[in-house]
Structure 1
C-alpha cells in the first residue's frame, strides 16, 4: 500500500471537468551505439486516432537524451491539471534490481552508474501518469534485439512500482502499436475488455473492466452537472478502494453526496482481518532494502519468495503466509514487528547451522585433498602433479601444482623437436578440442602429450556441461548484481580463505574458482556462477546481523 500522503496527492489531482487529455509518444528505432529495432516507430500510428479523440499529442521520435528530457519536461507541464494521460514508449529498456530505464537514441553501453544520463527512469514516467488516477495509461513496447550494457544492468523491464489508478500495458512493439492505433481511443470500451483479443500484451496495475477509458459516443457532457467533479472523484475512489482514498474523499466533501457510504466503507475495510494485517505491516515502514532482507531470510529458511527484489508480490506473500502457518501464527501474508524479530532470529540461527555444516564438510574435503596431495603432487614429479589437478582442479594445492608444472613444461618445450613444438604451438593457438586431439593423434609420444591430454579432459568437461554452464551464467546475469554487491561477495569469499583474487567487483577465473570451492563445501550445485541459493548463503551473515 502506498503512503497516505502520496495517495492524497493522487486523489487531489483528479482533473476538473473539461481539462485537456494529453499523450506523450516516444519511439527509438535507430540506436547510434546498439542494435536497431524493427517496429518501434509504428507507435506513431496512434497519433491520429488520439488526436481525433481530443488528445493533445507530443511526439518524441529518435531523440537523444537532452532532447528527450526537453520533450518530457514540456509534456510534464501539460500533464499538470490535465484530464486523461497516455504515455507510450517503444525501444530498448535496461533494468537493475530496483529500477528500469527507457534508453534514448544516444545510449552507449550504459551501466548502473551512467544510465541516468542515457535513459528515462520509468519511475519518473509512472509518477507523471499518477497525476490522473483512473485515467492514466502507460504503454511499454520492446523487442528481443540485444543491447550492450555495462556493469549492473541487464536487458528488459523489471518490477514496477505502479501508482494507484495507473494502468500499464507491456508487450512487443508491433502488437503494442497496433493496439494503441486500433483500440486505445475507441470510446465506450474498458481497457480490460479491449485487451481480450491481444494475448501478447500484459495488463498490470489499475484494472476496471466496467469503466470505459473514453466515454461512449453521444454521452452527455458532464460539465452541465454541478456535482460532476465530486462524482468523478468518487468513481476513482471506489475503484481504488482504500481507506486512504475514502478519507481523502471525505476531506474534500465531508457532507458530500457519498459521505455516508465513504464512512461505511472505511469501517468495513478496517474491520477486515486482512486489511488490519496489511495496515499493521504498513506501520512498520519497511523500505526496499529491509524487504530484501526479509526475502533472503525466508529463502534461507526454505520458504521461496520467488525473487529477492524488495517487492512483496504473490510469491513473497505466499512464503510469508507459509512461514506464519508453520510458526503457529495467523497466515495473513503480512508481517508484524514481533514476527520480523522471530524471522530474523530463525534465519540467523539457520545461517549459523548451515555454516557449521559447511565448515565440517570443508574440513573433510580438505582432509581428502591433503591426503591425495601427499600421495601425488607433493612428490614434485609431473605425473603426480597432473594426477592431483585432474582430481582436484580447484583444490587446496591447485595453484601450487600449476606453478610447479611450469618448469616441466618449459623444459619439455626446450627439448622438443622443432616440428613437435610447431605442431603444439598451432594446437594451442587454435585452442579447440579438435586441435588438441589432432596433436595427440599425430604425436602420441610427443613432448606435450601430457599437456594435450589435460587440455582435452578440461574441454570435454566444458562440452558435456555447456548447456548447464550457460544456464548458470544466465541465472547469475538475471540477479542484476552491481559492482558494490560483487565486491561484497568477493570480500566474503576472501574472509572464508577461498582465494577469489583482488576484491574489485570483477568476477575473473580466480573468483569463479573461489565460488566453486564455496559451492562444493555447502553441497550446492558446483558451477562457479551465482544463483539465488548461493547468493542467499553468501550474504546471509551480513544481511541478518
Structure 2
C-alpha cells in the first residue's frame, strides 16, 4: 500500500537519510526526461537536472542525463553503481513520464512510443530495478520520483502516473509532481543547518513519503546540538509507526482517536480517505476491463431508462446523468454504490430490463384489450346508429378508435349530403372556414349562419380546437425532432406498431397521419402521454416490446 505523507514526515525521511555524513563522498543520479520523440512533452520533465548545482554545492558527485534513451540509460545506471561503491549517501532523482502496468511502475525513456504491454520493456525502466540498486545502500539512500503533471497517452492495460510504492527495507522514497518535488528539494530540504522537521512541517507542497522514514538533519552544521528527547513525542511517533505499518482503516482511526491533533493527524486522515475511495477506484478499473462499445453503452442506458432511472440521454456516453442513474440502480439492487458497472452487475441489469420489458408488454397488451372492448361498447351505444350526433360523440371520445375510419367516412357522407343541399353562398363560406380551420373562422361562420347546415360541425371543431393541448403536442413535436432519429428507426417503429396490432399503415419509414394515429393508440395503451409524436420513453417502450 502506498504511504502518503505531509512535510512533517518528509522531515523525518530527509533528516534520518542524510544526517551528519561527509558530503564529499556522496553520489547523486539525476535523470530528467522532458522532450519525448513520440509522446507529449513532459511538464517540468528536466526538473531533476535542475537540482544538479544544489547537490554539487553539498559535495555530491553528480551524474546527470537529460532526455535519455533506453540504449543510454544503462550507462548512467552503471556509473551510479560504480561510484556508489565508496559512497556514504546516495540520491536518485527521476522526473518525466511514468506509467503503471499491473503492480509495476515504469519510468519512460525519451524514445518511448505510446506505452503498451508489447513495447513497455524496450522503452522504460521498472522501478523495481531502481529499488534493487538503492537497496544496496539501505538506510542511507533517497529515491525521489517526479511525475509530469500532464499524463502520457496509454493503451489498454496501461495507466499513466506512479502506482503503489513498496520500497525495500531501509529505502526512502519521495513522490510528487516534477516541479513541486524539485522545488521542495531545492528550496526546503537541501540547505545546510536546516531543522528539517520544522521546515517541512510548515511546507504547503504536496510531496508524499514511502518506506524508511528516519528523522535527523538533512545537512548537519559543524557542531550539531545535542538532541533533547521528548518522551511524549516519541510515544506518538511509535504509535504512528505501528499504525502505518499495519496500514488499515482501523489502525489510522485508532491513532486519530488517541492523537486527534497529533503531528501525523493530517497523514492519518489522508490515508483514511485513500482507503475509503478504494472501492470506487476498483470499480472504475473493472468497468474499463469490460471494453464496452458505444452500442453496448447505449443498451445499458436504455435498460436503465426502461427500469425508471433517468440517464439524461441514450447516446452511448457515460456522463453525470448515466453515473447517477447507475448509482441509484446499484443502491436499489443491493450493489456497492460506485457509479461504475462490472460484469456481474451488467448481467443483473440485463435480466431486470428483460423482465421489466415483458411486464410492460403484458401490461400494454391487457390495456389494449380493455381499450378495444370499451371502444366497441361505446361504438354500439353511439356511432353504430349512423346519426351525426352519435358519430360525433364517438369521435370525440375515440378520435383514433377502432371505428374512427368508419365514423369519419359516414360523417363525411352526411356532411357531403348537407353540402349538396345548402345554398351556394353558405357552401362557399363553409369551405373557406374549413380551409382556415381556426377558432376565428368557425365563430365567424356561426355569427353569419346561426341556423346553418354546418352549425353542429362548427361547434364540434371549436370544441376540438379548444380542448386540444396544443402546447403539449408542440413540445412533443420539438422533442421528437431533437432525438435525431434515423429513417431506419422510423421503419422499426412502424414494424413494431404493426406487430402489436396498432395498424400504422404502409411501412415506409415516413410518419404519416395514419402512423401518428397508431402511435397515439400505442401511447394510450402504454399509459404514456398521448401526442402522436415519438418521445424517448415511447421509443424505449416500443423497442423493448416483443
Residue of structure 1 equivalent to 2:523: 519
Contact 2:104–2:126 (Cα < 8 Å) also in 1: no
Deviations 1:469-516 (A, max 9, x none): 222222222211111111111211111111222222222222221121
SS of match in other structure, 1:254: strand
Residue of structure 2 equivalent to 1:416: 422
Q: 1:347 Cα deviation (Å)?
A: 0.9
2-side partners of 1:404 and 1:476: how far apart?
33
Contact 1:16–1:229 (Cα < 8 Å) also in 2: no
Deviations 1:21-63 (A, max 9, x none): xxxxxxxxxxxxxxxxxxxxxxxxxxxxxxxxxxxxxxxxxxx
**Does residue 466 of the first structure (1) align with residue 470 of the second (2)?**
yes
Matches within 5 A, 1:79-478: 227=66, 249=108, 251=120, 252-254=123-125, 265-267=162-164, 272-462=278-468, 465-478=469-482
Contact 1:237–1:245 (Cα < 8 Å) also in 2: no
- In the superposition, relative to structure 1, how do residues 264 and 479 fare at CA in structure 2: closer, same or farther (>3 Å)? closer
SS of match in other structure, 1:538: helix
- In the superposition, relative to structure 1, how do residues 430 and 325 fare at CA in structure 2: closer, same or farther (>3 Å)? closer
SS of match in other structure, 1:526: coil
> What TM-score comes out, normalization by structure 1 length?
0.53
Q: 1:247 Cα deviation (Å)?
A: 5.4
SS of match in other structure, 1:265: coil
Runs (4+) of structure 1 exceeding 4 A deviation are 14-17, 131-135, 233-238, 241-248, 255-264, 268-271
Contact 1:436–1:452 (Cα < 8 Å) also in 2: yes
Deviations 1:260-285 (A, max 9, x none): 67798223799943232222222222
Matches within 5 A, 1:56-71: none
- In the superposition, relative to structure 1, how do residues 360 and 264 fare at CA in structure 2: closer, same or farther (>3 Å)? closer
Figure out how many residues of one structure are paired with residues of the other and give that number. Answer: 325
Tell me how large the CA RMSD over aligned residues is. 3.6
- In the superposition, relative to structure 1, how do residues 384 and 259 fare at CA in structure 2: closer, same or farther (>3 Å)? farther
SS of match in other structure, 1:312: coil
Q: 1:390 Cα deviation (Å)?
A: 1.0
Q: 1:293 Cα deviation (Å)?
A: 0.9
Contact 2:105–2:126 (Cα < 8 Å) also in 1: no
Contact 1:234–1:249 (Cα < 8 Å) also in 2: no
> What TM-score comes out, normalization by structure 2 length?
0.53
Residue of structure 2 equivalent to 1:10: none
Contact 1:348–1:541 (Cα < 8 Å) also in 2: no
- In the superposition, relative to structure 1, how do residues 381 and 235 fare at CA in structure 2: closer, same or farther (>3 Å)? farther
1-side partners of 2:307 and 2:366: how far apart?
20
Residue of structure 1 equivalent to 2:172: none
Q: 1:538 Cα deviation (Å)?
A: 1.3
**Does residue 528 of the first structure (1) align with residue 524 of the second (2)?**
no
Deviations 1:102-131 (A, max 9, x none): xxxxxxxxxxxxxxxxxxxxxxxxxxxxx8
Contact 2:312–2:322 (Cα < 8 Å) also in 1: yes
Q: 1:527 Cα deviation (Å)?
A: 1.5
Contact 1:296–1:540 (Cα < 8 Å) also in 2: no
2-side partners of 1:134 and 1:511: how far apart?
59
Contact 2:520–2:532 (Cα < 8 Å) also in 1: yes
- In the superposition, relative to structure 1, how do residues 247 and 533 fare at CA in structure 2: closer, same or farther (>3 Å)? farther
Deviations 1:70-98 (A, max 9, x none): xxxxxxxxxxx8xxxxxxxxxxxxxxxxx
Deviations 1:326-357 (A, max 9, x none): 22222222222222111111111111112222
1-side partners of 2:105 and 2:384: how far apart?
78
Residue of structure 2 equivalent to 1:482: 486
1-side partners of 2:467 and 2:102: how far apart?
60
Contact 1:320–1:334 (Cα < 8 Å) also in 2: yes
- In the superposition, relative to structure 1, how do residues 272 and 404 fare at CA in structure 2: closer, same or farther (>3 Å)? same
